[in-house]
């Protein structure tokens, strides 16, 4: 039996916290698909193609991990991939409240689906893509939080935003 899990997210940008969950999750299954979500409701700093490229470089060498674009409902993507497990990372109690609700709804839409929660490693419990963008946007060093491939483009985009000003 092939255990296939999907780790969905925006990954805008990918952080070392995401990579921690990916490494640990990959050890639990035969195949882990990192699904880069395309959400027209959310304005991303990076395109889906850029996020996929950053992730592919970051997960290179982690056995059993692949990166895919995901449009639409997670449950539809899971069915298309023959995956029966959703992998999610938790940092805070508020993460759990949201993820618990999503897990229940996904299970209604896809009976038999299991959601596996991994608690963020201690070094990553404070880390989020939003905070990385905020720090970079104020000229801060985010090299401890995100892979090297992301850094030049993140700095360039955030500096361009600073030059444009609010709005």
Residue range 46-86, pLDDT digits in tens = 999 999 999 999 999 999 999 999 999 999 999 999 999 99
Q: Is the pLDDT of residue 167 over 70?
A: no
Q: Is residue 87 part of a domain?
A: yes
Q: Can you tell me whether residue 167 is helix, strand or coil?
A: coil
The verdict on whether 43 is a catalytic residue reads no
**φ and ψ at 66, to 5 degrees?**
-135, 160
Q: Is the pLDDT of residue 166 over 80?
A: no
Q: Is residue 13 part of a domain?
A: yes
Taking residues 127-144, report their average pLDDT: 92
The verdict on whether 110 is a catalytic residue reads no
Q: Report the alpha-carbon distance of residue 20 to residue 26 in Å, rounded.
A: 10
Question: What CATH number is attached to the domain comprising 74?
Answer: 3.40.50.620
Start-end of H helices in the chain: 16-26, 48-59, 74-81, 93-109, 129-137, 151-164
Q: Is residue 156 part of a domain?
A: no
Q: Is residue 160 part of a domain?
A: no
pLDDT value, residue 86: 98
The verdict on whether 18 is a catalytic residue reads yes
Domain of 26? 4-122
Closest among 13, 90, 105, 117 to 57, alpha carbons compared: 13
Q: Can you tell me whether residue 125 is helix, strand or coil?
A: coil
Number of domains in the chain: 1
Q: Is residue 153 part of a domain?
A: no
Token pair belonging to 22 = 């990916």
Q: Is residue 20 part of a domain?
A: yes
The verdict on whether 42 is a catalytic residue reads yes
Q: Which of these is catalytic: 18, 88, 110, 133?
A: 18
Q: Is residue 82 part of a domain?
A: yes
Name the one residue in this structure whose structure tokens are 């850094």.
151
Q: Is residue 165 part of a domain?
A: no
Comparison of pLDDT for 27 and 158, the residue scoring more: 27
């Amino acid at each position: 039996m092939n255990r296939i899990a999907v780790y969905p997210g925006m990954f805008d940008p990918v952080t070392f916290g995401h990579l921690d969950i990916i490494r640990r999750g990959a050890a639990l299954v035969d195949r882990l698909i990192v699904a880069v979500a395309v959400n027209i409701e959310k304005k991303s700093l990076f395109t889906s193609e850029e996020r996929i490229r950053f992730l592919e470089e970051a997960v290179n060498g982690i056995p059993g991990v692949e990166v895919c674009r995901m449009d639409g409902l997670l449950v539809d993507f899971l069915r298309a991939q023959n995956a029966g497990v959703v992998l999610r990372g938790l940092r805070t109690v508020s993460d759990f409240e949201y993820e618990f609700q999503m897990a229940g709804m996904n299970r209604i839409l896809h009976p038999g689906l299991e959601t596996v929660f991994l608690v963020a490693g201690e070094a990553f419990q404070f880390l989020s893509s939003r905070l990385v963008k905020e720090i970079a946007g104020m000229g801060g060093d985010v090299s401890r939080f995100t892979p090297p491939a992301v850094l030049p483009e993140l700095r360039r985009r955030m500096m361009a935003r600073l030059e444009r000003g609010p709005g």
